[in-house]
């Protein structure tokens, strides 16, 4: 009798565990993520709703795919500035995102936006992501230290030719990674103009002379900050002040 009772309790526990697992699976499968809602809204051509859903998804987890889709929704909704910003952020996370790169080329051709001049190390830094450059610099540095100092001390012998060759290669990779990291750092000062006909002022005041007007989606480089104004260098070579709310930086999502 006792053995049958134990067997019954075990069977009941297994049945209850399976029922709970199936309930969890069914509830998870029935839930639609914000990303999926954004895709559905985009396909239905409800672009403001799609932009909202992709924005909610980015609050949960930042991904190149979500930024790219947000850019598509913003562009279709008639907001070129936020669209260019989103595509640039997609490429910041994933430099090999071909769709975001193609969208940026199309947007710049359509709006006749000039390219912002970049230094050679900034162009070089675009090849890989921020995390990859950091990993390469760290790994190559410690590999160089191990080959030059640690390994000979452990083996108790002088440095061999192959050891010196590997150390030189590791140090060369370290220098290249440092150049890439430097390009990443200087590119954090690059932002995107959000609003059309944004005034570029001669001084950081509301009543200052307007030197020119910047187009939505134009890339600019911040050189200084004073109060609620950024001192910018534009893609056309102009210098001036723009209010903070008129641009956002690519590397600093807000």
Residue where the block lists tokens 């309790």: 9
* Backbone Cα Rg of the chain: 27
> Both 93 and 72 in a single domain?
yes
* Contacting residues for 26 by C-beta, under 8 A, at least 6 apart: none
Q: Which letter does DSSP use for residue 62 in this model?
A: -
Determine the pLDDT at residue 150: 82
Determine the pLDDT at residue 22: 33
Neighbours of 112 (CB within 10 A): 7
Indicate the residue among 61, 89, 111 that finishes a domain: 111
Indicate the residue among 55, 89, 111 that finishes a domain: 111
pLDDT in tens, 78-111: 999 999 999 999 999 999 999 999 999 999 999 8
Residue where the block lists tokens 């709310």: 245
The CATH number given to whatever domain includes residue 44 is 1.25.40.10
Determine, yes or no, domain membership for 8: no
> Both 91 and 155 in a single domain?
no
Indicate the residue among 111, 143, 166 that finishes a domain: 111
Determine, yes or no, domain membership for 11: no
Determine the pLDDT at residue 158: 64
Determine, yes or no, domain membership for 217: yes
> Both 92 and 46 in a single domain?
yes
> Both 99 and 40 in a single domain?
yes
> Both 107 and 149 in a single domain?
no
Reported as a pLDDT band with limits 50, 70 and 90, residue 156 is: low
pLDDT in tens, 159-206: 677 778 899 999 999 999 999 999 999 999 999 999 999 999 999 999
Q: Number of structural domains, the chain?
A: 3
pLDDT in tens, 214-249: 999 999 999 999 999 999 999 999 999 999 999 999
Determine the distance from the C-alpha atom of residue 217 to the mean position of all C-alpha atoms in its chain, rounded to a whole number.
17
> Both 154 and 218 in a single domain?
no
pLDDT in tens, 9-63: 344 344 334 333 333 333 344 457 999 999 999 999 999 999 999 999 999 999 9
> Both 147 and 197 in a single domain?
no
Determine, yes or no, domain membership for 163: yes
Residue 110, CA distances (Å) to 2, 69, 103, 217 in order: 81, 19, 10, 11
Q: Give the burial string for 120-159 (b: 16+ CB within 10 Å, else e).
A: ebbebbbebbbeebeebbeebbebbebbbeebeeeeeeee
* Contacting residues for 148 by C-beta, under 8 A, at least 6 apart: 159, 167
How far is 50 from 54, CA to CA, in rounded Å?
A: 6
Find, among 207, 209, 203, 198, the residue nearest to 234 by Cα: 198
Query: Which residue segment(s) compose the domain that 82 sits in?
Result: 34-111
How many Cα atoms occupy the beta-carbon half-sphere of 204 within 13 Å?
11
How far is 122 from 110, CA to CA, in rounded Å?
A: 25
Reported as a pLDDT band with limits 50, 70 and 90, residue 147 is: confident
How far is 104 from 124, CA to CA, in rounded Å?
A: 19
């Amino acid at each position: 009798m006792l053995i049958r009772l134990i067997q019954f309790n075990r069977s009941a526990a297994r049945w209850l565990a399976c029922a709970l697992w199936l309930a969890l699976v069914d509830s998870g499968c029935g839930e639609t993520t914000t990303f999926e809602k954004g895709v559905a809204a985009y396909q239905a051509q409800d672009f403001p709703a799609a932009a909202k859903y992709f924005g909610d998804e980015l609050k949960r987890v930042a991904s190149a795919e979500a930024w790219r889709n947000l850019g598509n929704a913003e562009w279709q909704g008639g907001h070129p500035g936020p669209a260019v910003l989103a595509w640039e952020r997609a490429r910041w996370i994933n430099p090999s995102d071909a769709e975001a790169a193609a969208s940026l080329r199309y947007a710049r051709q359509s709006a006749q936006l000039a390219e912002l001049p970049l230094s050679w190390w900034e162009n070089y830094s675009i090849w890989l992501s921020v995390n990859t450059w950091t990993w390469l610099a760290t790994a190559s540095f410690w590999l160089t230290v191990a080959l030059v100092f640690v390994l000979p001390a452990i083996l108790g012998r002088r440095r061999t030719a192959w050891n010196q060759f590997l150390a030189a290669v590791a140090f060369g990779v370290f220098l290249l990674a440092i150049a890439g990291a430097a390009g990443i750092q200087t590119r954090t000062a690059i932002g995107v103009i959000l609003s059309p006909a944004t005034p570029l002022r001669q001084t950081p005041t509301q009543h200052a002379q307007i030197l020119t007007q910047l187009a939505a989606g134009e890339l600019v480089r911040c050189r200084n900050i004073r109060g609620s104004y950024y001192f910018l260098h534009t893609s056309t070579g102009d210098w001036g002040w723009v209010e903070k709310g008129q641009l956002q930086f690519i590397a600093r999502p807000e």
